[in-house]
Structure 1
Amino acid sequence: MRRDLLALGAALFALVPAAQAASCQPAPLGDATLYLRGSLNNWAAQDEQAFEYRCNAYFLNLKASGPQEFKLADEDWTPALTFGGNAKGQPARGAGGNLQRSFQGEHTLRLTIAADGSATLTVGPKTFKPTPPRPITDRAALTVHFSSRVEEYKRPFGAQPAGTEISFSIGNDAPGLKSATLVIERRRMSGNQERLAYEPLTRIAMTPRSRGLGVGFTARHRFADTGVYGYWFELEMYDGSRYALQNNTDTVYWTREKGSMGHASIERLPASTQRIRRYRQTIYAPDFKVPDWARDIVYYYVFPERFRNGDKSNDPRPGGGRPQDRYQDRDVERHATWNEKPFKPGTGDGSDALFNNDFFGGDLQGLIDKLDYIKSVGANALYLTPVFRAPSNHKYDAADYKQIDPAFGTNDDFVRLCAEAAKRGIRVIPDTSLNHVGADSPYFNRFGNFPAGGAFDNGKINPTSPYASWFKFKPDEKDPAKQYQGWVGVADLPEIDKSSPAFRAYAYRDKDSVTNLWLDRGAAGWRMDVAPWVPDDFWREWRQAVKAKKPDALTVAETWFDSSKYFLGDMFDSTMNYIFRNAVLDYAAGKSGRTMAANLELMREAYPPQAFSALMNLLSTHDQPRALHHFGEDRDRAQAKQRLRLAVFFQMTYPGSPTIYYGDEVGLGGGDDPFNRAPYPWADEGGQPDEALLADFRRLTKLRHELPVLRHGTLQAPLHVDEQVVVLARQDGTTWALTATNNSNTARTVRFFVPLDNGTLRDALGGSDVTVKNHEVQLTVPPLFGRVLVHAP
């Protein structure tokens, strides 16, 4: 009976559009496209989650599992087109909350918007049949060729310095193509991808040339100024039809724009060019220089509170009366033993209701004590999440940018850490946020824990504070928590007005600014938190200050998406490479090698080579689940570790700076925050570090250090890519290295062409040599691992 009722409900749900055909209305949101944007797609506007309007409602077929939080919005988060969740759990314009639904499998979502603007979202069985795109049958259109990575169609390849002239060619294999126009636009992008637009620059009529049965077209353009440009081709057929030859439909991890570049796709010219998928062309400053040492880095990435307790006298303790013993207006929480799980409120672990106020006692002395260990892992750079005074365990809520947190030690301890690290060939790169401070800080002083003078002393606006200009206040609001802007709505993190001259002086302009002070104390560079929330002109000035103080200092941004605009020579040298992270983790977990290659090739093409070789190539971070969790440590821990070995193998043989998140090398797992920030499992603290896994990490870092071609070699186009096996080529002078990986549980044999005529490839990990014959190689790649083959005449 229940099955019959469900079937009847599904049928009725499907009939809604037809049954109400007589009352069809124009789309209440006009031409706007609405997307489901939430936890299941990293809050991006993806075509797969775009609603289609039909008759009197917006429909979306969605496949998802488990509880999800989301909003309904257009691509630009336009306020009038953004629907959050209201008190009744229904979508409403301007509602601050998220919509929450639980899914299991395939569903159809139906959104109706009444005349008064109220909205209702219904979730039912999958019944909606989307309107299929009108197929293209014109052979002349279907045979058009372009690839941004093939010299025949575009040269030179990839990002180029300003002043470079680039040639473009297209062709087809059937008659019918009348004319072609190269359309070049300049990308305008600010913030965390919220505002993305292309501004017209030029349209170039392409010159025809004969090409067999079809016709080819060519054009050239000199890119005079730095920037990120978009380009595509408008085609006209003899029958008057028009098409857009554009970027492909590949999804790029975290990135709003679709298209991994390479081979083009063709579609009918849309009514709005906003729908065009542009190819991207990065044009950078000719004098853009990244520190030479960046490409030789292996990072060891530490969350200091959880790495090693070297000085128990400074540990935070409830009721202790010292600054580190209080969290805002109450005591901290202290873990009884080092190897406990981090506390998470609401899980029944006995902790209080606050996040980020539990402490284990890790400190700078612990780092100093373990520098020899860090060096033994193969690291030569130490990246630290913030160590400056702050009440939380993560320290992104700065209370004093110019002082080490007392739970971590002293300013002298930082100087000593840098000096001791330098003796071992290790550089230290600290982290901070110049976007927000802590509510519990002398700058803001919401809780009154500091002497009067904060901009919000005891929850009241203080216009006489020396920090008053750092913040924007809304005095008409009655609720104190709404009288200022917390970053992304978090009241504990008052957002700084980055245009404030007083703040800019404090941050980087003054001789003793935050930026200069820590460089003077031994830092080798900076990693900057939430870079997209800080204006570009701020970063341009900041970079100048950094390079004036220490020309070979490394600047690293925290960005998660395509970061081309930060690599024009005026902002950053590098970024935390989340595209790499997701691409490699998914591949090592068993997903398609083609998807990984497409995402990585995008960066090879879009980023200047000096930045590409310095990218901070991550696997685990303090903001995302650890790699072992991604690989299913709870289901099959042994296989998860082998998949981690595969990911590390790829990481250590790829251009950029491999980054080891503390504890990964000994099998430390953990899901979302706070469990990805668990203490390092030291044996003398009762932990059980995996020594065999550690030995494999050391073997792979040693391989990277011993083979300069893996650090300095230019990456070529992939030699072979399929679902399981990816083969890449590196060239450094006359030395070549071929790296092959296999994400299958069985060995795979592949045959492919190589840029070498004949000769022998030596297996750098001790396997059998491989013979090159007439530019061809046959290679067997072991399961869930890889091979490195070197040719050095």
Structure 2
Amino acid sequence: MLKTTALLAALLSLAPAYAADCKPAPLGSATIYLRGGLNNWSAADEHAFEYRCDAYFLNLKATGAQEFKLADEDWSPALTFGGDADGQPTRTGTGNLKREFSGEHTLRLAFAPDGSARLKVGPKTFNPTPPQPITDRAALGARFDSRSVAFKAPFGAQPAGTEMAFTVTGDRPGLKRATLVIERRHLSGNQEQLSYEPVARITMAAQGSAFKAIHVFTDTGVYGYWFEIETDQGVYALQNNKDTIYWTREKGSMGAASIERLPSNMNRVRRYRQTIHAPGFEVPTWAKDVVYYYVFPERFRNGDKANDPRPGGGRPQDRYQDRDVERHATWNEKPFKPNTGDGSDALFNNDFFGGDLAGLIDKLDYIKSLGANALYLTPVFRAPSNHKYDAADYKQIDPAFGTNADFERLCAEAAKRGIRVIPDTSLNHVGADSPYFNRFNNFPAGGAFDGGKINAASPYATWFKFKTDETDPDNQFQGWVGVKDLPELDKNAPSWRAYAYRDADSVTNYWLDRGAAGWRMDVAPWVPDDFWREWRTALKARKPDALTVAETWFDASKYFLGDMFDSTMNYIFRNAVLDYAAGKSARQMAANLELLREAYPPQAFSALMNLLSTHDQPRALHHFDEDADLALAKRRLRLAVFFQMTYPGAPTIYYGDEVGVGGGDDPFNRAPYPWADEGGTPDETLLADFKRLTKLRHDLPVLRHGTLRAPLHADDHVLVLARQDGHTWALTATNNSLKPRTVSVRLPASLADAPQLADALGGPAWRPRAGRLTLTLQALSGLVLTR
């Protein structure tokens, strides 16, 4: 006892000296996060710095080279730190911070008196302050689950005018009061602005051990809701959980609620989301039956060598801005990446292989045989780059790809095979090398920036916002996300809107009239919502069954209110499924996918463009570490494709994945398709597996039309799902373990008395016992059972 007292006295004597050395947090009450590739650039709680005395600290477990920034949740300019020339964080740094990691580390972020920052990475030495536990039994006993009709009915997204019932249960009288808090969400841009405004605070009526409330959602929108509860010991927030959703700023996958003390900063409350869409929201009926083949045209097939870009040729396709293009000597070379010693020049996106529309037409039978019935093309309109997002003429097919007549022929030939064609473009920006802008004087005078000078007399002048007080041409206009090759359009300019969609021969209508079945729209979050609302109205008036697909990477609920888009590129699905197939928890995958099932209207959920690989992210095989063990990577790919083909939405095959094409970040994810007659070695065994799985999807309507229920089982490795279409059922089960796994699941009541379930892939039937089914799944495998 004396030793303990003496030790305490000694520590107390040191406290004033220690406190004297401590300083107030230089960033005030702001929370700073490490945001980078390792967490999809999200503000994740586990990557939040803690201020302690004189610096900010973060313990991080990571391996290899990582790129990141330090920023608050809002990417506020004053609280966003990029990398300077010395690799140190600075508010003016536009580049990423880069560090090498090899396990567990402590990051220390300190600020000098002049405001400059230093980031040090060392061995793990920091002990974070543990959270203060909640011991209030009444608070801990409060319950809510957004996916159970016992707590909230009806389930999921609903049309405007829907009355919803909310129930919170708990230990009364310890649980004294409960208030349902409803707010309307505002989300703009690429999640830069996120806020909630009050709609209603409803005192919930006590009924036995429960509190109940009713609310009618009269207007469309995405709403947030949570519960303020009061006990004898305090006030708490009964709210969404802390699950991180891929690419999405807001945390929480919904479902069972979590309890925390009511925060002083209400922005810290994790709202449940409730989507309220227009009552008449319709998606084309054919969308849920789609299997996409997704093509980067320049790299798919060279069907007409006469139109190939060639250095020094003197044709439009032979020049990239103010210099020659680069031409690959053989079809199966790697794409060029400047500054890597591959012999290429210093420019990005100016190397060409010769893929074109003629090549696509030649291979339509191949695409059909794969099981695809929709062809999604990255842009094919005239542009100097190989990717064509730098539009030079929205109404002309790029001469390296063919002619407008070739596009019409592609659509007609595809239609003969039951394939629809979905083109892509950006209505957010154009190319600097275009008649609209004309920075390089490659077009007749009349561009808005002829030869690098503002031309106020140009018919396109109002399409852009110029800064006339700047002297440096690069600073006189805004490039999209700072890329000066892509001048950003003023989407509010009436003449631009007329050209884009209002005119009878607008860009939107022009290609619909020539056979396009819809549109995929690039960088949708950078375009104002009212633009998309008008655009959708014009498009649907021209072609009512045209499909509209947005490029969004995060929770896209705001686009599915019936006034903007039908579908989106489902990057949440991509990351969830790839991580699962790579060995991460089935529970984590289920949480992300269940959020979409709950947040998206069913008609949009069934039409989602469910991706595994894209031209903007490393291919699936790269994600599975193809360089370490290619055979294992292909087994993991098969599992991912199995899940993709048996899940609601539109499976999307990125060209070449089906024959084992790999590759990391751009440009290596855009490698040519390895045609055998061009010297390539396509994996025919993998191709056969893809065909088998697309056939399975087409053969079983329940996999396309069936309603998805909550998971029957989810653990670290196994996920079991149930689908119902009328009297037809399908159970799908997957195992991502390298070992066989056995699970027992309770079947839905309608299946409990089934004498047996058929194996859709030809295996023996499975027989339930007493309403349960015991499944043994082989390593990295899946089952589809039907009744």
Instruction: State the alpha-carbon separation in 1 of the partners of residues 578 and 86 from structure 2.
Output: 38
Instruction: State the alpha-carbon separation in 1 of the partners of residues 654 and 685 from structure 2.
Output: 17
> SS at the partner of 2:25?
coil
Q: Are residue 121 (structure 1) and residue 115 (structure 2) matched?
A: no
Q: Which residue identity does 1:585 align to in structure 2?
A: L
Aligned partner (choices 133, 140, 147) of residue 138 of structure 2: 140
Q: Are residue 489 (structure 1) and residue 482 (structure 2) matched?
A: yes
**Structure-to-structure mapping, 1:524-543, within 5 angstroms:** 524-543=517-536
| Aligned CA distance change for structure 1 residues 19 and 392 (closer, same or farther; 3 Å) | farther
The aligned counterpart of 1:106 is 104
**Structure-to-structure mapping, 1:232-271, within 5 angstroms:** 232-239=226-233, 241-271=234-264
Structure 2, gaps ≥5 residues long: 1-13
Give 1:84 shift: 2.6
The aligned counterpart of 2:783 is 787
The aligned counterpart of 2:758 is 762
Q: What whole-Å deviation, never above 9, does each CA across 1:15-55 have from its counterpart, x for those lacking one?
A: x9997531323222222112222233222222122121222
Q: TM-score, normalised by structure 1?
A: 0.96
Give the superposed CA RMSD.
1.4
| Aligned CA distance change for structure 1 residues 379 and 19 (closer, same or farther; 3 Å) | farther
Q: Which residue identity does 2:219 align to in structure 1?
A: D
Q: Are residue 557 (structure 1) and residue 557 (structure 2) matched?
A: no
The aligned counterpart of 1:710 is 703
Give 1:105 shift: 2.2
Q: Which residue identity does 2:692 align to in structure 1?
A: R
Q: Which residue identity does 1:68 align to in structure 2?
A: Q
The aligned counterpart of 1:9 is none
| Aligned CA distance change for structure 1 residues 343 and 580 (closer, same or farther; 3 Å) | same
Q: Which residue identity does 1:761 align to in structure 2?
A: L
The aligned counterpart of 2:11 is none
Aligned partner (choices 278, 281, 299) of residue 285 of structure 1: 278
Q: Are residue 567 (structure 1) and residue 560 (structure 2) matched?
A: yes
Give 1:658 shift: 0.4
Q: What whole-Å deviation, never above 9, does each CA across 1:159-182 have from its counterpart, x for those lacking one?
A: 000000111111124651110111
Q: Which residue identity does 1:789 align to in structure 2?
A: L
User: Which ranges of 4 or more aligned residues in structure 1 deviate by more than 4 Å?
Assistant: 16-20
Q: Which residue identity does 2:23 align to in structure 1?
A: Q
Instruction: State the alpha-carbon separation in 1 of the partners of residues 64 and 636 from structure 2.
Output: 25
Aligned partner (choices 652, 655, 669) of residue 645 of structure 2: 652
The aligned counterpart of 1:96 is 94
Instruction: State the alpha-carbon separation in 2 of the partners of residues 28 and 757 from structure 1.
Output: 62
Aligned partner (choices 594, 601, 609) of residue 601 of structure 1: 594
The aligned counterpart of 1:590 is 583
Aligned partner (choices 752, 770, 774) of residue 778 of structure 1: 774
Instruction: State the alpha-carbon separation in 1 of the partners of residues 386 and 438 from structure 2.
Output: 19
| Aligned CA distance change for structure 1 residues 364 and 771 (closer, same or farther; 3 Å) | same
Q: Which residue identity does 2:71 align to in structure 1?
A: A
**Structure-to-structure mapping, 1:216-615, within 5 angstroms:** 216-239=210-233, 241-615=234-608
Give 1:113 shift: 2.9
| Aligned CA distance change for structure 1 residues 345 and 364 (closer, same or farther; 3 Å) | same
Q: Are residue 170 (structure 1) and residue 164 (structure 2) matched?
A: no
Give 1:586 shift: 0.7
> SS at the partner of 1:184?
strand
Contact 1:139/1:174 (<8 A) preserved: no
Structure 1, gaps ≥5 residues long: 1-15
Contact 1:758/1:771 (<8 A) preserved: no
Give 1:347 shift: 1.4
Give 1:238 shift: 1.9
Give 1:604 shift: 0.3
Q: What whole-Å deviation, never above 9, does each CA across 1:332-383 have from its counterpart, x for those lacking one?
A: 1111111111111111111111111110000000000000000000000000
The aligned counterpart of 2:150 is 152
**Structure-to-structure mapping, 1:2-21, within 5 angstroms:** 21=19
Give 1:91 shift: 2.5
Moved more, 167-176 or 696-705: 167-176
Q: What whole-Å deviation, never above 9, does each CA across 1:157-206 have from its counterpart, x for those lacking one?
A: 00000000111111124651110111111100000011111111111111
Q: Which residue identity does 2:163 align to in structure 1?
A: E
Instruction: State the alpha-carbon separation in 2 of the partners of residues 175 and 728 from structure 1.
Output: 39
Give 1:282 shift: 0.4
Q: Are residue 71 (structure 1) and residue 72 (structure 2) matched?
A: no
Q: Which residue identity does 1:147 align to in structure 2?
A: D
Instruction: State the alpha-carbon separation in 2 of the partners of residues 174 and 380 from structure 1.
Output: 57
Contact 2:40/2:246 (<8 A) preserved: no
Q: What whole-Å deviation, never above 9, does each CA across 1:423-458 have from its counterpart, x for those lacking one?
A: 000000000001111111111111111111111111
Contact 1:656/1:711 (<8 A) preserved: yes
Give 1:477 shift: 2.0
Q: Which residue identity does 2:249 align to in structure 1?
A: R
The number of residues matched between the two structures is: 771
Instruction: State the alpha-carbon separation in 2 of the partners of residues 387 and 377 from structure 1.
Output: 23
Instruction: State the alpha-carbon separation in 2 of the partners of residues 316 and 447 from structure 1.
Output: 19
> SS at the partner of 2:501?
helix
Q: What whole-Å deviation, never above 9, does each CA across 1:449-489 have from its counterpart, x for those lacking one?
A: 11111111111111111111111111222221111111111
Give 1:420 shift: 0.3
Instruction: State the alpha-carbon separation in 2 of the partners of residues 693 and 176 from structure 1.
Output: 60
Give 1:139 shift: 1.2
Q: Are residue 48 (structure 1) and residue 43 (structure 2) matched?
A: no
Instruction: State the alpha-carbon separation in 2 of the partners of residues 432 and 552 from structure 1.
Output: 19
Aligned partner (choices 22, 25, 42) of residue 23 of structure 2: 25
Instruction: State the alpha-carbon separation in 1 of the partners of residues 506 and 287 from structure 2.
Output: 25
Contact 1:17/1:56 (<8 A) preserved: no
The aligned counterpart of 1:10 is none
Instruction: State the alpha-carbon separation in 1 of the partners of residues 492 and 779 from structure 2.
Output: 54
Q: What whole-Å deviation, never above 9, does each CA across 1:502-551 have from its counterpart, x for those lacking one?
A: 11011000111000000001000000000001110110000011100000
> SS at the partner of 1:196?
strand
Contact 1:17/1:54 (<8 A) preserved: no
The aligned counterpart of 2:7 is none
**Structure-to-structure mapping, 1:739-758, within 5 angstroms:** 739-755=732-748, 756-758=751-753
Contact 1:143/1:174 (<8 A) preserved: no
| Aligned CA distance change for structure 1 residues 481 and 194 (closer, same or farther; 3 Å) | same
Contact 1:744/1:783 (<8 A) preserved: yes
Q: Are residue 728 (structure 1) and residue 726 (structure 2) matched?
A: no
Instruction: State the alpha-carbon separation in 2 of the partners of residues 412 and 656 from structure 1.
Output: 32
Instruction: State the alpha-carbon separation in 2 of the partners of residues 637 and 88 from structure 1.
Output: 38
| Aligned CA distance change for structure 1 residues 590 and 379 (closer, same or farther; 3 Å) | same
Q: Are residue 39 (structure 1) and residue 37 (structure 2) matched?
A: yes
Instruction: State the alpha-carbon separation in 2 of the partners of residues 328 and 710 from structure 1.
Output: 48
Instruction: State the alpha-carbon separation in 2 of the partners of residues 631 and 91 from structure 1.
Output: 32
Give 1:127 shift: 1.6
Moved more, 116-125 or 152-161: 116-125
Give 1:115 shift: 4.2
> SS at the partner of 1:466?
coil
The aligned counterpart of 1:13 is none
Q: What whole-Å deviation, never above 9, does each CA across 1:279-334 have from its counterpart, x for those lacking one?
A: 00000000000000000000000000000000000000011110000011111111
Q: Which residue identity does 1:138 align to in structure 2?
A: D
Give 1:116 shift: 3.6
Percentage of pairs with the same residue? 79
Q: TM-score, normalised by structure 2?
A: 0.96
Q: Which residue identity does 2:605 align to in structure 1?
A: F
| Aligned CA distance change for structure 1 residues 445 and 177 (closer, same or farther; 3 Å) | same
Contact 1:338/1:360 (<8 A) preserved: yes
Q: Which residue identity does 1:680 align to in structure 2?
A: Y
Instruction: State the alpha-carbon separation in 1 of the partners of residues 296 and 222 from structure 2.
Output: 34
Contact 1:84/1:93 (<8 A) preserved: yes
